[in-house]
Amino acid sequence: MSLLKLEQALYRFADWLGILAASLFVLLLFNVFYDVIMRYAFNDVSIGMQELEWHLYATIFLLGVPYALRHGGHVRVDVIFDRLSLRHKAWIDLIGTVVFLLPFVGLVAWYGVNFTIESWELGERSGDPGGLPYRWIIKGMIPTAFTFTALTGIGMLLHSINTLRGLHPDKPQEDLFHRDLN
């Protein structure tokens, strides 16, 4: 498999995670709607449904990070970065990915695994009566999502390498905020 095809496959995966996160947002919307109706119309509160709200929100956020990273939706110093040539941008992305992104997400994923295993071994559950069991599931989203972010980072790294090899001659990393919407 060529580096270009691997880059495209990793980016398709990040796009799929974005679709999954958006779909979960719809579930979150219905969950909050149900919770509000039950609370104010029937004076009935479900701790489990309230906890499910933050579980869904955390999952949406964590799965949205690789999507945002793939589409350039994270903070950059655009005043400087936008003035650089495509090759300079590729070098900055390559160095930033190798020096900052991949080590950080690797550490969080690595320590998140132990965090999740400990929760599973202890049989950790909600501290509230009526809360959700299996707290390890939401904790497991941390190493899972950071592993997905690492995969997207590898896609960014490959994009930079492919740009430096001349395979993306006039196509910068896609940017959510500066792309043409026509």
With respect to residue 135, please indicate whether it lies within any of the assigned structural domains: yes
Cβ proximity of 158 and 173 under 8 Å: no
Domain tally, the chain: 1
Q: Tally Cβ neighbours within 10 Å of residue 130.
A: 12
Per-residue pLDDT of 76-91, as tens digits, reads: 767 777 788 888 888 9
With respect to residue 127, please indicate whether it lies within any of the assigned structural domains: yes
The residue range of the domain holding 42 is 3-164
**Of all residues in the chain, what percent carry a pLDDT higher than 70?**
90
Pair of tokens at residue 45: 């509160």
Per-residue pLDDT of 9-38, as tens digits, reads: 999 999 999 999 999 999 999 999 999 999
Please give the angle made by the CA atoms of 158, 143 and 49, to the nearest 5 degrees.
125
With respect to residue 169, please indicate whether it lies within any of the assigned structural domains: no
Per-residue pLDDT of 97-143, as tens digits, reads: 999 999 999 999 999 999 999 999 998 888 888 888 888 999 999 99
With respect to residue 68, please indicate whether it lies within any of the assigned structural domains: yes
With respect to residue 89, please indicate whether it lies within any of the assigned structural domains: yes
With respect to residue 109, please indicate whether it lies within any of the assigned structural domains: yes
3-state secondary structure of 149: helix
With respect to residue 181, please indicate whether it lies within any of the assigned structural domains: no
With respect to residue 130, please indicate whether it lies within any of the assigned structural domains: yes
